[in-house]
Amino acid sequence: MIPVTCFVDQKVAVLGLGRSGLATARALLAGGAVPVVWDDSAEAREAAQAEGFEISDLGRNGAFDGVAALITSPGIPHLYPEPNRVIAAALKAGVPVDNDIGLFFRSFANDDWDGFDTTPRVIAVTGSNGKSTTTALIHHILEVAGRPCQMAGNIGRGVLDIDPGIDGEVIVLELSSYQTELARSLTPDIAVFTNLSPDHLDRHHGMGGYFAAKRRLFAEGGPDRAVIGVDEVEGQFLAGQMAEGPQDDRVIRISSGQKLEGFGWSVFVRKGFLSEWRKGRQVASIDLRAIAGLPGAHNHQNACAAYAAVRSLGIGPKVIEQALRSFGGLPHRSQLVGERDGVRFVNDSKATNVDSAAKALQAFARIRWIAGGMGKEGGIKGLVPYLGAVAKAYLIGHSARDFALELGDTPYELCETMAVAVERAAAEAEAGDVVLLAPAAASFDQYPNFEKRGDDFCACVKVSLGG
């Protein structure tokens, strides 16, 4: 646990008692604060009360009298589409609003660091797609290199739930736009921006607000090193803002597809080969084509981001290459879950939007595509240019019929359920085919989250394979 010591003997309100909320309350208590907590869920309140926390309805009149700060869970809206009633009351009362990420950056350093040979470092990763894989890949490389490390944030443990930093340790954080948007302190040593595509637009009131939330990770704290994907105009803009000029190697530009030779430091992939360039010359190269845990251009971009981040720490290319080859990938993200008679079954349930599904569809040569669920605004029209490798689509869930109308000449079958889709795709697949779950939709019509949807796919594949 990271004790939060900046509110000693002060009352601090905590809104939302999920994983991060309870960890925040514990960290505040450990640091000498007096937490008062609230959640609209009676079950969550009971769990907090069982730990001894004071329950207080933060929506009542006068709830913020004598309160030093409100710490809110990331998923609770504070501005758009409209502020939560409790946050609105705090803002009206002039009470500062923060989240656990802000508290982490204010609390991570402690007096023990004075005796360390190497100060602990923090790498923070944000972006629309690839955050989790990039974060896990950085963590994996650090482990292979023998560096002490922990992983937290939007993946793994809550940021305040990790252990205090030790000599030479690296903390790797995945941060969503919900987390970066509100944190009052954002001071990573290395900040990583993977890419940007439309998502969470209602929460951020459009693409401008969404990009602004991501940009705060770089603008608020001024990281020592910025690793920035420049395959979209927003990344190019951000790199331009952070660098003093093209030779400023505090900014490492990364790309999956573009040659980036005219900069002080860049890492890019062309035709499956990762190249590192510094001051006008190539200094390292890695063949990514045969690395099973990183298929497709989108994973090659993740490899570039992770490579650049750990190179900033001085880890050598040969160690990085060894780690890339042993990386098994994350569940629900281009996860190979089975193979039979030359047919592979790949779970990319995390592909919940058009952009991430497009990347998955470009990763394989011949696809039996399982898609559908709770469709998002715009449907799947944006995927039409990427359907060339799709032999047939097997559509499930609420938006199956809507998706069918947008497939053009691509053959399809309305399957409704995952079990039927997997059974039909497996029966029709031929050697060399990939049965790919890349839904391009949310899961909430049939599943509580994308993880449960991916688990169901894996279970259905196991049945299909006779396991």
| CA-based torsion, 158, 160, 162, 168: positive or negative | positive
Q: Which residues contact 237 (CB under 8 A, 6 or more apart)?
A: none
CA-based angle 435:436:438, to the nearest 5?
160
Strands 121-126 and 54-55: unpaired
pLDDT at 270: 95
Return the H-helix or E-strand segment holding 121. strand 121-126
Q: What is the pLDDT of residues 162-190, one digit of tens each?
A: 999 999 999 999 999 999 999 999 999 99
Neighbouring C-beta atoms of residue 62, cutoff 10 Å: 8
Q: Do 240 and 221 contact (CB within 8 A), yes or no?
A: no
| Residue 194 labelled as part of a binding site | no
Residue 216 placed within a domain: yes
Closest CA to 302 of 104, 118, 62, 141: 141
- CATH number for the domain spanning 271: value is 3.40.1190.10
Q: Say whether both 392 and 426 belong to one domain.
A: yes
154 is in an annotated binding site: no
**Residues 382, 253 share a domain:** no
Are 142 and 224 in the same domain? yes
Of 272, 301, 326, the position where a domain reaches its end is: 326
CB 371 within 8 A of CB 441: yes
Dist CA 406 CA 386 (whole Å):
13
The answer to whether 132 is annotated as binding is: yes
Same-domain status, 371 and 459 = yes
Confidence (pTM): 0.86
Tell me: is residue 131 an annotated ligand-binding position. Answer: yes
**Mean pLDDT computed over 263-288:** 96
Q: Is 208 annotated as a binding residue?
A: no
181 shares its domain with 258: yes
Tally of domains in the chain: 3
pLDDT in tens, 370-422: 999 999 888 999 999 999 999 999 999 999 999 999 999 999 999 999 999 99
Whether residues 355 and 402 share a domain: the answer is yes
Residue range of the domain that includes 85: 11-98
272 with 395, same domain: the answer is no
- What is the tally of helices (H) and strands (E) in the chain? 15, 20
Per-position b or e across 316-343, b if 16+ CB within 10 A of its CB: ebeebbebbbebebbebbbbebbeeeeb
Cβ(175)–Cβ(154) under 8 Å?
yes
pLDDT of res. 467: 64
